[in-house]
């Protein structure tokens, strides 16, 4: 982070909390650069012109100062914003500066003016930034101008649950905050305060079979059940909804956030906390740190493939695959010819028309039934759920699926890991999604990073 004050004014209004918030931003937005400047109230702040990968905001600061904050994404991450499907990433960047300035206003008075902030202060700063980001989405998605403390209270409660066990069971819990019900509840149950004494509540709304619906006023209203999602039913007092084709195998919380237009929360068994907007993950809390999951994964793939247009599609597909049982292997190659001798001809979707129909195997005949025009993440995740590797070229065209990749190393490690490692010698990048949802990235036969596993992106 860099800080600056007007020339000729010797005092520096920055505080330790500013340094903490800069660290938080770098974590959430994948090593972004943060610039904070201070100017006397009433003067025109110096903020850079809007550019791709840059966002700024100004707000009252300490004393008689105003604070201007600018976030700049690394060039490789900024490039992601040009890719198809990156609207959510651009929106997140836009809300971050104001969210951080609101956090600074809340925490500045209680932070020490000298010395290094304590670990507890850093945890509070990280969670408060996340709450303020979600408050921005409460305004834009749910229409709540003054969200109050609901987001902060929900995050605090979910953190408690992430470290708890009930009836010797590892907890999962799902909740969606949405303005989906028009009637007045007969019994008012405040979330999360009235559910805390009900220790079994998380078991009822586990985020996989059922999700709790909470209205913008913080009142727990009803549930959304997995087995009823295929029906055009509405909760009491609400309006009918329908499930978009292709979402049925996604996380139930993700589905519900897409249907109801709200903000979804999921506590997973691995103690991570996921948030969802429009059916896609926004922020993930793991080991007390928040990360913009789509940014981190997409940026990593784009970086390893020199900005391949397929990076965003593969990242979205990897997320979907991570929420499904069974795992998957996804790969991007520079040239279809790189698969020669690695992927059997019968598994080559791109060469389906070169094979004599009378000599086709049954699996090869299936290639002619698939519709891969305008390939999206839902179709790709469905295809990738089959055993074997799914391979795309740099532009996102399907080259192979259910491809058998033979590896001699399978005796020393899992078959999927060995196949991904072997394929990475020919592909530009390979993603292995485990049955537990961990996403491991391979390149040139080596493990580059694991996202959502024991190690995290950027630690290698």
Could you tell me the strand order of the sheet in which 429-433 lies?
Answer: 398-403, 389-393, 328-333, 429-433, 439-443, 446-451
pLDDT of residue 4: 55
Please give the residue that has the higher pLDDT: either 331 or 84: 331
Residue 238: is its pLDDT beyond 70?
A: no
pLDDT of residue 211: 95
442 within some domain = yes
Residue 317: is its pLDDT beyond 50?
A: yes
Q: Do 24 and 58 fall within a single domain?
A: yes
pLDDT of residue 237: 41
Q: What is the DSSP letter of 434?
A: -
43 within some domain = yes
Q: Do 314 and 190 fall within a single domain?
A: no
Domain boundary among 291, 326, 351: 291
Q: Do 308 and 319 fall within a single domain?
A: yes
pLDDT of residue 185: 85
**Average pLDDT score over residue span 277-304:** 79
333 within some domain = yes
* pLDDT single digits (tens) 120-142: 888 999 999 999 999 999 998 88
Q: What is the DSSP letter of 398?
A: E
Residue 87: is its pLDDT beyond 90?
A: no
* Confidence category of residue 246, pLDDT binned at 50, 70, 90: very low
DSSP assignment string, 71-110: EE--HHHHHHTTSTT-HHHHHHHHHHHHHHHHHHHHHTTT
Is the N-terminal amide bond of 192 cis, ω within 30° of 0?
yes
**Average pLDDT score over residue span 242-270:** 71
Count Cα atoms within 13 angstroms, Cβ side, for 327: 19
pLDDT of residue 114: 57
Residue 174's nearest CA partner among 134, 215, 138, 202 is: 202
Please give the residue that has the higher pLDDT: either 135 or 355: 135
Q: Do 235 and 332 fall within a single domain?
A: no
H or E element that contains 318: helix 310-322
Looking at mean pLDDT, say which of 136-145, 154-163, 299-308, 318-327 comes out highest: 154-163
Q: Do 259 and 287 fall within a single domain?
A: yes
Rg (CA), the chain: 24
**Average pLDDT score over residue span 357-385:** 86
pLDDT of residue 452: 53
Tokens representing 306?
């020199």
Check which CATH number belongs to the domain holding 336 and give it: 3.40.1700.10
Please give the residue that has the higher pLDDT: either 293 or 457: 293
Please give the residue that has the higher pLDDT: either 164 or 303: 164
Tokens representing 234?
């509405």
Q: Do 306 and 172 fall within a single domain?
A: no
Average predicted confidence (pLDDT) for the chain: 82
456 within some domain = no
Residue 440: is its pLDDT beyond 50?
A: yes
Residue 450: is its pLDDT beyond 90?
A: no
Q: Do 189 and 245 fall within a single domain?
A: yes
Residue 205's nearest CA partner among 220, 216, 218 is: 220
Q: Do 332 and 416 fall within a single domain?
A: yes
pLDDT of residue 257: 92
pLDDT of residue 174: 95
Tokens representing 79?
């490039």
pLDDT of residue 338: 94
pLDDT of residue 407: 79
> Domain containing 416: what range?
293-451
Please give the share of the chain, as a percent, with pLDDT higher than 90.
38
What does the alpha-carbon distance between residue 253 and residue 440 come to, in Å, rounded to a whole number? 24
pLDDT of residue 102: 93
* Confidence category of residue 228, pLDDT binned at 50, 70, 90: confident
Domain boundary among 291, 306, 341: 291
Residue 453: is its pLDDT beyond 50?
A: no
Q: Do 176 and 285 fall within a single domain?
A: yes
Q: Do 28 and 40 fall within a single domain?
A: yes
Work out how many domains the chain is built from and give that number: 3
Domain boundary among 100, 117, 134: 117
Residue 316: is its pLDDT beyond 70?
A: yes
Q: Do 167 and 316 fall within a single domain?
A: no
Q: Do 320 and 280 fall within a single domain?
A: no
* Confidence category of residue 145, pLDDT binned at 50, 70, 90: confident
460 within some domain = no
* pLDDT single digits (tens) 46-60: 888 888 889 999 999
Please give the residue that has the higher pLDDT: either 207 or 292: 207
Please give the share of the chain, as a percent, with pLDDT higher than 70.
83
130 within some domain = no
* Confidence category of residue 232, pLDDT binned at 50, 70, 90: very low
265 within some domain = yes
133 within some domain = no
**Average pLDDT score over residue span 136-158:** 92
What does the alpha-carbon distance between residue 377 and residue 444 come to, in Å, rounded to a whole number? 25
Among the listed ranges 9-18, 30-39, 363-372, which one has the minimum average pLDDT value?
Answer: 9-18
């Amino acid at each position: 982070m860099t800080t600056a004050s007007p020339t000729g004014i010797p005092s520096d209004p920055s505080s330790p909390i500013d340094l903490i918030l800069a660290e938080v931003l770098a974590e959430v937005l994948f090593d972004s650069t943060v610039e904070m400047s201070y100017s006397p109230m009433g003067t025109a702040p110096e903020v850079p012109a809007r550019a791709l990968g840059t966002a700024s905001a100004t707000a009252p600061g300490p004393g008689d100062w105003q604070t201007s904050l600018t976030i700049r994404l690394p060039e490789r991450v900024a490039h992601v914003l040009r890719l198809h499907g990156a609207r959510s990433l651009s929106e997140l960047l836009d809300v971050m500066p104001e969210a951080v300035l609101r956090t600074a206003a809340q925490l500045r008075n209680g932070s020490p003016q000298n010395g290094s902030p304590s670990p507890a202060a850093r945890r509070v700063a990280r969670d408060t930034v996340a709450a303020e980001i979600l408050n921005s989405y409460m305004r834009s998605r749910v229409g709540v101008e003054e969200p109050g403390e609901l987001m902060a209270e929900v995050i605090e409660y979910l953190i408690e649950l992430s470290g708890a066990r009930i009836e010797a069971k590892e907890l999962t819990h799902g909740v969606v905050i949405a303005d989906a019900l028009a009637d007045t509840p007969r019994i008012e149950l405040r979330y999360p305060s009235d559910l805390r004494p009900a220790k079994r509540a998380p078991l009822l709304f586990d985020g996989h079979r059922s999700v709790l619906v909470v209205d913008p006023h913080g009142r727990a209203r009803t549930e959304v059940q997995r087995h009823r999602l295929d029906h055009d039913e509405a909760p009491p007092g609400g309006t009918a909804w329908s499930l978009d084709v292709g979402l049925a195998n996604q996380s139930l919380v993700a589905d519900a956030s897409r249907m109801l237009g709200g903000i979804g929360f999921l506590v997973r068994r691995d103690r991570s906390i996921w948030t969802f907007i429009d059916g896609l993950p926004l922020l993930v809390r793991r080991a007390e740190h928040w990360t913009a999951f789509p940014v981190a994964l997409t940026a990593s793939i784009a970086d390893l493939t020199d900005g391949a247009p397929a990076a965003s599609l593969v990242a979205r597909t990897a997320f979907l695959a991570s929420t499904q049982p069974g795992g998957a292997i996804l790969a991007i190659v520079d040239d279809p010819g790189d698969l020669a001798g690695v992927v059997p001809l019968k598994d080559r979707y791109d060469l389906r028309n070169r094979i004599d129909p009378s000599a086709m195997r049954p699996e090869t005949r299936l290639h002619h039934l698939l519709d891969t025009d305008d390939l999206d993440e839902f179709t790709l995740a469905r295809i990738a759920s089959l055993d074997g590797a799914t391979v795309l070229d740099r532009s996102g065209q399907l080259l192979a699926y259910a491809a058998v990749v033979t590896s001699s190393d399978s005796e020393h490690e899992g078959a999927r890991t060995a196949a991904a490692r072997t394929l990475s010698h020919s592909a530009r990048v390979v993603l292995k999604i485990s049955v537990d949802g961990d996403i491991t990235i391979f390149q040139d036969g080596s493990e580059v990073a694991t996202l959502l596993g024991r190690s995290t992106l950027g630690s290698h």
